[in-house]
Amino acid sequence: MSAIAGILADRRYQVSGSDPRDNAVLQDLRSRGVRVFREQSAATIAAIRSGTAQAPLVVVSSAVPPSNPELQEARRVGLTILHRSDVLAALIAGQDSVAVAGSHGKTTTSSLVASLLHATDHDPTAVIGGIVPAFGSNGRNGAGALLVAEADESDGSLVKFQAWLGVITNLELDHTDHYPDLNALIATLQRFARRCGQLLANRDCPILREHFQARHWWSTTSAEGVDFAALADDLSGDSTLATFYEQGLPVGQFRLPLPGLHNLSNATAAMAVCRLHGVSFAELRRAVEGLQAPGRRFDFRGDWNGRLVVDDYAHHPSEVDATLATARLMVQTGRSPLPMAPQRLLAIFQPHRYSRTAEFLEPFARALSQADAVLLAPLYAAGEAPIPGISSEALAAALRRINPNLAVAVSSSLDDLAEAVANHSRPGDLVLAMGAGDVNGLWGRLQELEAPAALPLAA
């Protein structure tokens, strides 16, 4: 929502919004002329209407409930109400656009596409689901030919988009609150793909191989039978050296400063998009060296008494698995983009939604078992009603079944979680906090604590 608000403000629209919180994103919007109300009430709609002769459009996201007083007042007075995806669809239709979809990696991939275009002087417009380091924002109004958008599949609204190029990173069942099964998710993404002028897809994903007809494919496992590939020559905890291929032929080597095979796949897709847009490989090779992951993607928060604290948005078993595998690579190779190479991996995980936790309880447990110790935060409901038997305690029990020797503990609150980190971590630990809820507040709570006494975490 904030990315779209900023772009519309930069395009000289009058934009207003409301949020009871205050943060850097809202401060940035204010500096760009957006009027931000701190209370959500019917009076907000009256104030906005009184300031313009033209009836305002009201834009809502799927997170806004029907009971919201502003939404109720907008309906009462007969204002036109649009979903966020309707506005994004209009922006996408207004110029050549790249829409990046997929179960995992779409925020990172769309951020990398926008960053590479920016670094090679193609000045993109961008609407991304995370903060892009190159812009310091999740949205940007550029003067170049391309708009880069993250196409979220969680509510199915991406079928409205008609992009010059659609990108699908991978496909796996998620958002079980919206999709009854994998076939329903596949059907939605197929509708998205049909509306795009052309499709670029990940050949390494078996579901995409079986169910999609892409004009262009990429891979990080083989250069044969794909348009673009990047094969790793050296994998380490701080970077990946790889060779880029087009139509099966080697083009040249590049070094990606983002570790992990999942990031190599994201970067390969981003480079492929840029090559399809006409950016030379020589330009890309230089630009790739400066890439940074978007906010909350292995986001180093700081050194807390010798513990390296990292925040990550991983909230699906495959994402947790990839994030922990990258962290484990740092421990094993002694190389890391962090201030020092970690010696041990303390995983902190906050389950997100009862429906997702119920569907993936055992896969979550298998992914988390890579860590040296695990602390679980209370389950973040995201507005869902509880499901009997589904909780962080149930996930802990599954972890103990899979690995009885793994040290596992469950916290009753974020304050309790911070105390547990203080009591059961030690200098040299990588404290990796994962989840899509409020677990990203852990860093702030740790800073309020006294220096820790290192104690072993009981299994």
User: Based on the domain organization, do 273 and 319 belong to the same domain?
Assistant: no
Catalytic residue among 106, 319, 323, 326: 106
Are residue 92 and residue 53 in the same domain, yes or no? no
Q: Is 218 exposed, middle or buried (0-12, 13-18, 19+ CB in 10 A)?
A: buried
**Digit-coded pLDDT (tens) for 18-42:** 998 888 899 999 999 999 999 999 9
User: Are both 145 and 12 inside the same structural domain?
Assistant: no
Q: Are residues 343 and 417 in the same domain?
A: yes
What integer pLDDT is reported at residue 459 of this predicted model?
43
Q: Which of 288, 321, 341 is the last residue of a domain?
A: 288
Q: What is the mean pLDDT of residues 391-399?
A: 98
Q: Is 52 exposed, middle or buried (0-12, 13-18, 19+ CB in 10 A)?
A: exposed
Domain limits at 71? 2-79
Residue 107 designated active-site: yes
- Compute CA distances 125 → 91, 149, 158, whole Å: 10, 8, 18
Q: For residue 273, is it within any domain?
A: yes
Q: Span 315-335, mean pLDDT?
A: 96
Give me the mean pLDDT over the 184-188 stretch.
98
Length of the chain: 459
Give the pLDDT confidence score for residue 454 in this predicted structure.
52
Could you tell me if 266 and 317 lie in one domain? no
Considering the domain architecture, whether residues 313 and 262 belong to the same structural domain is answered as no
Is there a domain that residue 415 lies in?
A: yes
HEC string of the chain? Answer: CHHHHHHHHHCCCCCEEECCCCCHHHHHHHHCCCEEECCCCHHHHHHHHHCCCCCCCEEECCCCCCCCHHHHHHHHCCCCEEEHHHHHHHHHHCCCEEEEECCCCHHHHHHHHHHHHHHCCCCCEEEEEEEECCCCEEEECCCCCCEEEECCCCCCHHHHCCCCEEEECCCCCCCCCCCCCHHHHHHHHHHHHHHCCCEEEECCCHHHHHHCCCCEEEECCCCCCCCEEEEEEEECCCCEEEEEEECCEEEEEEEECCCCHHHHHHHHHHHHHHHHCCCCHHHHHHHHCCCCCCCCCCEEEEEECCEEEEEECCCCHHHHHHHHHHHHHHHHHCCCCCCCCCCEEEEEECCECHHHHHHCHHHHHHHHCCCCEEEECCCECCCCCCCCCCCHHHHHHHHHHHCCCCEEEECCCHHHHHHHHHHHCCCCEEEEEECCCHHHHHHHHHHCCCCCCCCCCCC
Domain count, the chain: 3
Instruction: Specify the CATH number for the domain of residue 261.
Output: 3.40.1190.10
Out of 229, 255, 288, a domain closes at 288
| Predicted local confidence at residue 453, as pLDDT | 58
Distances from the Cα of 373 to the Cαs of 62, 237, 265, 360, 367, in angstroms? 36, 20, 28, 20, 12
In tens, the pLDDT along 111-154 reads: 999 999 999 999 999 999 999 999 999 999 999 999 999 999 99
Q: Based on the residue annotation, tell me whether 393 is a catalytic residue of this protein.
A: no
**293 domain-assigned:** no
Where a domain ends, among 59, 79, 99?
A: 79
Residue at 10 is within a domain:
yes
Residue 458 lies in a domain: no
- Is residue 263 domain-shared with residue 199, that is, in the same domain? yes
Mean pLDDT score of the chain, rounded to an integer?
A: 95
Q: What's the CATH number where 338 sits?
A: 3.90.190.20
41 and 96: one domain?
no
pLDDT digits (tens, 9 = 90+) for 197-256: 999 999 999 999 999 999 999 999 999 999 999 999 999 999 999 999 999 999 999 999
| One domain for residues 45 and 189 | no
| Residue 338 sits in the same domain as residue 308 | yes
Q: Looking at the structure, do residues 320 and 417 belong to the same domain, yes or no?
A: yes
The one catalytic residue among 70, 73, 150, 153:
150
For the question of residue 150 being annotated catalytic, the response is yes
Annotated catalytic residue: which of 44, 107, 220, 240?
A: 107
Given pLDDT bands bounded at 50, 70 and 90, which one contains residue 63?
A: confident
Contact (CB, 8 A) for 442 and 309: yes
362 pLDDT above the threshold of 60: yes
Query: Does residue 456 belong to any structural domain of this protein?
Result: no
Q: Say yes or no to pLDDT of 375 above 90.
A: yes
Asked if the structure places residue 459 within a domain, the reply is: no
Please check whether residues 32 and 126 belong to one and the same domain: no
- Percentage of residues in the chain with pLDDT exceeding 70? 98
pLDDT digit string, tens, across residues 261-278: 999 999 999 999 999 999
Residue 341 domain-assigned (yes or no): yes
Tell me the one-letter amino acid at 126. A
Lowest mean pLDDT across 45-54, 325-334, 373-382, 402-411: 45-54
